[in-house]
Amino acid sequence: MDDRSNTIAGWVLAGGIVALGLSIVTGMYFHPEAPEKEGFAVVAEAAGEAGGAAAVPIATLLATADIAKGEAVFKKCAACHTINQGGANGIGPNLWASMGKPHGHVPGFAYSDALKSVPGNWDWEGMDKWLANPKKYAPGTKMTFAGLGNPEERANLILYLNAQGSNLPLPTPPAAEAPAADAAAADAAAADAATGEAGAAPATDAAAAAAAPAAAK
Ligand code: HEC
C-alpha cells in the first residue's frame, strides 16, 4: 500500500517536472517576441524624454525631486567619486560641496583643461547639462561617463548633490514665478490707477519685465 502511494507520488512529481520543463521550453520558444516589444517601448520613451528635457526646466523638476532616489542614483557615480566631507579623490574628484563652486573645485586634483576652462560655477542648469552629457558640456573632459538620459533622475541626483555640503536655495520654478510677477504687475497697475497717469509707464515696464524672462525660457 505504502509502496503504491510512493509510486503514485513519484509519478505526480515526474509529471510536475515534465510540465515545468515544457513551460520553460515554451517560454524560450516564445520569448524572442518580448524584447522586441520592450525595445520599442524604450525607444518611444527616450524620444518622449528628449522632447520633455527641453520642455520642463530643471527648476520645476527640482521642486518635486526625491532626495532618497537621488542618493540611489549616486551609486552610478560612486565607482569614481566619494561625496563625504574630506573624502578621498578616486578616478574623479571628491564631490563634497561641489554645487556652487567653480569647475574643478578640488585643489590638487588633475582636472582636464576642458573642464577647468568652462567659465562660471556649478549652478543648477550647468550641473543638469553636465550630468545629461559630460562630453557635450566640456568637450575633452576626462569623465568617461555616458550621462543620465532621464531628466527626473538628474533632478533627484542634483538635489542629493546639493544637500552634501552646498545647500544652495532651490531655484524658483518658472511656473510659480509667473503668477507672482503678474500679481505684482496688477498691484502696480492698481496703485497707478489710484495715483493717476504719472505711474502708468512704470506699470507697463513692470509687466514687460515680468514677461521678458518668461519669453527667454
Ligand atoms: C568613470 C569614472 C566616473 C564616473 C562613473 C563619474 N565621474 Fe564624475 N568625474 C570623473 C572625472 C575623471 C572627473 C574630472 C573630469 C575632468 O577633469 O575633465 C569628474 C568630474 C566630475 C565633476 C566636476 C567636479 C568639480 O570639481 O568640478 C562632477 C560634478 C562630477 N564628476 C559628478 C559626477 C556624478 C554626479 C556622477 C554620477 C552620475 C559621475 N560624476 C560619474 C569621473 C567619473
Q: How many Cβ atoms from other residues are within 10 Å of residue 65's Cβ?
A: 21
The most confident of the ranges 16-20, 41-45, 182-186, 195-199 is 16-20
Name the closest-CA residue to atom 34, ligand 1: 77
How many domains does the structure of the chain reveal?
A: 1
Whether 28 maps to a domain, the answer reads no
Residue 212 maps to a domain: no
| Residue 1 domain flag | no
Is 190 part of any domain?
Answer: no
Check residues 143 and 211 and name the one with the higher pLDDT.
143
Q: Count how many Cα atoms sit within 13 Å of the Cα of residue 185 in the half-sphere of its side chain.
A: 15
Does the C-beta of 207 come closer than 6 Å to ligand 1? no
Alpha-carbon span 217 to 215, nearest angstrom = 5
Q: What is the CATH number of the domain that holds 88?
A: 1.10.760.10
Written as nine digits, the cell of 114 is 576642458
- Ligand 1 pocket test, pick from 80, 115, 160 with the greatest ligand atom count within 8 Å of Cβ, gives 80
Q: What is the mean pLDDT of the chain?
A: 78
State which ligand 1 atom lies nearest to the alpha carbon of 141: 18
| Shortest-distance atom of ligand 1 to CA 91 | 12
pLDDT, tens only, 143-160? 999 999 999 999 999 999
The one-letter code for the residue type at 87 is G
- pLDDT tens digits, one per residue of 65-88: 999 999 999 999 999 999 999 999
Residues 99-139: tens digit of each pLDDT: 999 999 999 999 999 999 999 999 999 999 999 999 999 99
Q: How far is the CA of 143 from the centre of ligand 1 (A)?
A: 5
- Grid coordinates belonging to 140: 575633452
| Residue scoring higher pLDDT (63 or 40) | 63
Whether residue 145 lies inside any domain: the answer is yes
154 C-beta closer than 6 A to ligand 1:
no
Work out the average pLDDT over 44-71.
75
Domain encompassing residue 125: 58-163
In this prediction, residue 7 carries a pLDDT of 76
Q: What is the pLDDT of residues 28-50, one digit of tens each?
A: 555 545 444 454 444 444 444 44
Looking at the domain assignment, is residue 73 inside a domain?
yes
Q: Whose CA is nearest to atom 27 of ligand 1?
A: 104
Residue 175 in this model has a pLDDT that exceeds 70: no
Length of the chain: 217
Kindly state whether residue 173 falls inside one of the protein's structural domains: no
Per-residue pLDDT at 79: 98
CB-ligand 1 contact for 141 (6 Å cutoff) = yes
Work out the end-to-end distance of the chain between its first and last CA atoms, rounded to an integer number of angstroms.
84
Compute the CA torsion angle 126, 130, 133, 135 (nearest 10 deg).
110
Closest CA to ligand 1's atom 24: 104
Which pLDDT belongs to residue 54?
53
Q: Which of 134, 157, 129, 132 is nearest to 144 (CA)?
A: 134
Angle at 159 between CA 216 and CA 175, to 5 degrees: 35
Instruction: Name beta bridge partners: 121.
Output: 102
**Is 34 within the bounds of a domain?**
no
Tell me which residue of 146, 152, 136, 125 sits closest to 49, measured CA to CA: 152
Q: How many Å lie between the centroid of ligand 1 and the Cα of residue 190?
A: 52
